[in-house]
Amino acid sequence: MSAPHPQLDAQGNLKHFLTIDGLSRELLVEILDRAEGFLGVAQQAVKKVPLCRGKVIANLFFENSTRTRTTFELAAKRLSADVLNLNISTSATAKGETLLDTLRNLEAMHVDMFVVRHATSGAAHFIAAHANPHVSIINAGDGRHSHPTQGMLDMFTIRRHKPDFTRLRVAIVGDILHSRVARSQILALTTLGVPEIRVIAPRTLLPSHVEDAFGVRAFHDLREGIRDVDVVIMLRIQRERMNSALLPSEHEYFYLFGLTEKRLSVACPDAIVMHPGPINRGVEMDSQVADGSRSVILEQVSNGIAIRMAVMSMCLGTQNLNSQREYTA
């Protein structure tokens, strides 16, 4: 969508990972294949590979996060990189330091990669545009815009259960409007060839022109929307959206859009249920579904580490792993 490709270097290799938008199917498959190779690292007695030894990776989190930051940290450590964790929301910006000043200071410490989470859409693009040319930026979530590693770990999880993307029906349920996760998922699913993507939410939680913007089908009825789908992705509803002009109550939301075993019965019998976490039990879904046999929610977390290892090692220009596996679409 944007003119010069902001994420690739002159040779077409991944330099930054800011958004799924504009990346080729081949590149996404390469990320998935690489992550496949890294899954085994967690099973080893020594859970490390030396691919990023001597590199310094800074987790730059301007927004609170435990899960995402932890998996990025673990991924970096398994690649043998040195890791800095910086929770900026409570330090520099509170003192009036600008985003660019924070970046410059860390660059002066010879950091090779920044993993950035920021509450503002476009923050990762901004940092990538102004960072020193040898520094790689990985977007760990910017506003409502993009969360590409989450999108890819979800693709990875789907592929492990449903290897052929071109035959899938996928439904995404919940707060599409505010969700960077949904945007990244939709772009990744589309790029990987998924023919039918549905978004299901009340009108207040669907962004304007969502069907035209993403080529998806919008539903306002959960039962209708998940009928015959292979994958159901539930999104987290932020508590602050409740009792506002967006949603009246958790009770009504669960009544209309909460996932239960009974409702799930209209989906394909082998449908999987996903959630980026953390779950609000009894709001997005009941515990029976969350802990049920079709839930792959915890797998998503483990897969997140492998995907982040794949992306980090690719951006830091390390060699291809021998353990790549071929997947034919």
Partner 1 sequence: MTHPPRLSLCHGRLIDPANGIDDILDLHLADGRVFAIGDTPDGFVPSRILDAQGLVICPGFVDLCARLREPGHEQKATIASETRAAAASGITTLCCPPDTFPVIDTPAVAQLIQQTAKRLGFARVLPAGAVTQGLEGRKITEMAALKRAGCPVLSQSDRPIRNTQVQRRALEYAATFGLNVFLHPQDPDLSEGGCVHEGLISTRLGLPGIPEASETVAVARDLALAEQTGAQIHFRGLSTARGVAMLADARRRGIRASGDVSLHQLFLTDTDVASFDANYHLIPPLRTRADRDALRIALANGDLSAICSDHQPHDADAKLAPFPETAPGISTFETLLPLALRLVADGVLDLAGVIERLTVSPARILSRNLGHLTLGAPADICIFDPHATWIPQADTLISQGYHSPFLGQAMQGRVVWTLLGGNLVFELNRRLPKRTTGVRFAPDPQEQPADCAPATAAL
For residues 303 and 156, what is the distance between their CA atoms, to the nearest angstrom?
7
**308 lies in the site for partner 1, by CB under 8 A:** no
Taking contact as CB under 8 A, which single stretch among the options 2-10, 67-75, 250-258, 315-323 is the one that binds partner 1?
2-10
Which DSSP string do the residues of 152-164 spell out, in sequence order? HHHHHHHHHH---
Instruction: Tell me the DSSP string of 218-242.
Output: EES-HHHHHTT-SEEEEPPPPGGGT
SS3 category, 256: helix
Other CB atoms within 10 Å distance of the CB of residue 163: 11
The nearer residue to partner 1, 88 or 259, going by C-beta atoms, is 88
Question: Which of 3, 325, 316, 323 minimizes the C-alpha distance to 137?
Answer: 316
Considering only residues 117 through 156, tell me which ones interact with partner 1, judged by CB under 8 A. 118, 120-123, 125-126, 130, 142-146
- Among residues 152 and 206, whose Cβ is nearest to partner 1? 206
Q: Which of 67, 110, 132, 213 binds partner 1 (CB under 8 A)?
A: 213
Q: Is residue 202 a contact point for partner 1 (CB under 8 A)?
A: no
- Strand arrangement of the beta sheet that strand 231-234 belongs to: 217-219, 196-200, 169-173, 231-234, 272-274
Rg (CA), the chain: 19
Shortest Cβ distance from residue 36 to partner 1 (Å)?
Answer: 29
Phi, psi (5° rounding) for residue 126? -60, -45
- Give the binding range for partner 1 (CB under 8 A) out of 37-45, 211-219, 246-254, 255-263: 211-219
Compose the 235-274 pattern: x for residues touching partner 1 by CB under 8 A, - for all others: ----------------------------------------
Q: Which stretch binds partner 1 (CB under 8 A): 96-104, 227-235, 269-277, 306-314?
A: 96-104
- Using CB under 8 A as the criterion, which residues of the chain lie in contact with partner 1 when the complex forms? 1-3, 6, 21, 98-100, 118, 120-123, 125-126, 130, 142-146, 180, 183, 207-210, 212-214
